[in-house]
Chains A and B, each alone.
Chain A
Amino acid sequence: MPLRKWWDRARDIAGAPRVRGLAVTHDPWQQAAADIAAGGGRLLAMWASPADPPAVYAAFLADRGVLVLELPLPAARAADTAGAADTARAADTAGAADTAGAAGAAGAAGADYAGLQGLYPAASRMQRAIFDVWGIRASDHDQRPWLRHAAQGYEFVRVAGDGVHEIAVGPVHAGTIEPGHFRFSVVGEKVLRLEERFGYTHKGIERRFTQLPILEGHRLAARIAGDSTIAYSWAYCQALEGMSGCRVPPRAAMLRALMLELERIANHLGDVGALANDAGFAFGLSQFSRLKEELLRAVAQLFGQRYLLDALVPGGVRVDVSATPARALATRIAAVRREASGLRALYEDHAGVRDRFTGAGILAPELAGRLGVLGLVGRASGQALDARVDLPCAPYDAFVPVKCVRQQGDVAARVALRFDELEQSCRLADALLGSLPAGAHVGTVQPPLPGSFGIGLIEGWRGPVFVALEAASGGTIRHCHPHDPSWQNWPALEHAILGNIVADFPLINKSFSLAYSAVDL
């Protein structure tokens, strides 16, 4: 089997379980990507490191595990690509209209590597972002800037025809939500086409990582997406702990999993409430926002914070927990589970809600597979992937979650899936709370050797959060690439909206509930 050939030639990478890596040249890069796609593998992440010499990386999710391909670029190309990025950025800051000229100069040098868009549609935006930040260019057709908004004249695809008009929404939206731009082409109320444009919250996170000590990088990782702070900080710490050979104490691993499940529960409670509100059933928002608040207060009692942005540290968790608030949290989780189940029945009974949810925003399983959709949105469209089950790290090898999957792919399926996962996460959190072993809540971590490389992979509530980490000398970070599953899932929304009315977009978008700032980086 072709994938096995690549897997056997690769070497183990520190951090998450069953991750291997292989340095390749131009032809094997393309061949391996094709073999993995033929074998049903998916693109997990794609990034570039400007290190000396620069390289492009692609990580793939296959049955056996995660395979990372490293494509070093010729040293001579390094000078060109750094120059291209600097030229492009200088043109942007000067507000020059001739950015096309600058890009043209770089383009004249040709592509730096073979693009993967043909095999993995999700690669397109990742490749455009790589060029925007590092000046390293893929061979694929779509060369529009993704993050460099100062570059003039972004062209949306136009739809021609009688009565077709465009609606531009964002970046500032009507509600309390992150910024992004959605360009609709509509006839009457029906959506013919949706094109997304993001990058509004781009803060230069990858560059910021290189300014932090490697033992402090988890604090930045925790703030890539506030609603997924545990998933990100855990993935970062997992990579770092693997690289430095640190063993995380069992009590710390259990507490991390407890926090991850609490994060999942809190987000699902918020979403099912908001989705009812979007369907005109404000009662749902009232009740679920109340439940979420009660949960957050119990979390704050146990961990000292409502949202656990500083709860994880390299080696374990920052603060240990004590018995009385732990029991109070267990009681609260049981209450949440009971009430959510009762409210679910009310949702399913309510004809108006059923009418709005059923058949809206359908993402067919076949399309979800072709687009490489991951996580929650994937599971509601038949893509049975959950890193906690497929590639478990401690303690998920002992506390095995039940994988929840649905096939209909509509808003109703994504809501039902959230209810299913809520139930499972409450069960898991209860089991974890009831089995906390004695012992240390944190282990010691030394800065890893310069040049060492690690990968973290944690199933956050949206899907698998991936972190690639490379150490430099003096306890610093050579490169860190944090990757959100929303990269893969955002393009699927452009398909799910087709044939629906514009007024249903907030509902459908909320049923996907994807990250903006985590993909803008």
Chain B
Amino acid sequence: MLKTLRRICAVGIVTEPAPEPDALLRVRDSLDARIRAVLGRALCIRHVDAGSCNGCELEIQALHNPFYNLEGLGIRFVASPRHADLLLVTGPVAANMEGALRRVYEATPDPKLVVALGDCGCTGGVFGELGASRGRVSNIIPVDVAVPGCPPSPIRIMQGILTAIGVPER
């Protein structure tokens, strides 16, 4: 135990300041200012992989590393859509995930936000919108913010989330 504590002290705190939101990522504005003020202090996110290659998932997982420390901003990931304020959706929507994605969206109580993540989530990416790939997330559910990238960096993902909840730009 002592060795573990010593290691923790030696490494110290490496968390960096959060990035600014980016209005260019916004697709639509669906919540009023009072609701956004509440969500900006404590936000629950449910992640859904609708067909991604797992690249975006790696950068979402990075948000919990000590450098980005998403939980330090009052933002945490939850296991059930019924506990969520925001859906973070990756991948082009695979046909076999369309039903599950719709059910997750319907199970998420209002007010809710949707962030589509990655080139695939924004446009269908290299998989396009043919055959078993239904394409961009907004083909299936309404999207508030779309964050391009392949994969988008953790900073970019944070910007997308902060833009969705309308954190005022400094």
Question: Could you list which residues of chain A lie within 8 angstroms of chain B, going by C-beta atoms?
Answer: 147, 149-150, 171-172, 174-179, 199-205, 207-208, 211, 219-220, 223-227, 229, 270, 283, 285-287, 289-290, 292-293, 296, 306-307, 309-310, 342-343, 345-346, 349-350, 515-518, 520
Contacts and interface: CB of A to CB of B under 8 A. Distances in A.
Nearest to A274: B61
Given A283-B8, A290-B65, A290-B67, A225 B100 contact: no
Nearest to A351: B1
A176 B3 contact: no
Nearest to A170: B100
B42 interface: no
B91 A201 contact: yes
Interface residues of B, number: 48
Contacts of B57: 176-178, 226
B126 A349 contact: no
B33 interface: no
Given A203-B127, A226-B151, A346-B3, A293 B55 contact: no
A171 B125 CA distance: 22
Given A178-B52, A208-B128, A290 B14 contact: yes
B66 A286 contact: yes
B53 interface: yes
Given A179-B49, A223-B126, A309-B150, 13 more contacts: A175-B79, A199-B96, A200-B97, A208-B128, A220-B126, A223-B53, A223-B125, A226-B151, A227-B55, A289-B62, A346-B3, A517-B53, A518-B53
B94 A171 contact: no
Interface stretch (B129-137, B140-148, B160-168): B129-137
B97 A201 contact: yes
Contacts of B153: 306
A287 B6 CA distance: 13
Contact of A172 (B8, B48, B62, B65): B48
A179 B104 CA distance: 13
Contacts of B91: 201
B81 to A, nearest CB: 8
B65 A293 contact: yes
A200 B153 CA distance: 25
B34 interface: no
A179 B77 CA distance: 17
Contact of A207 (B52, B66, B126, B131): B131
A226 B58 contact: yes
Interface string B73-93: 000010101000000000110
A166 to B, nearest CB: 19
B42 to A, nearest CB: 19
Contacts of A286: 65-66
Nearest to A296: B62
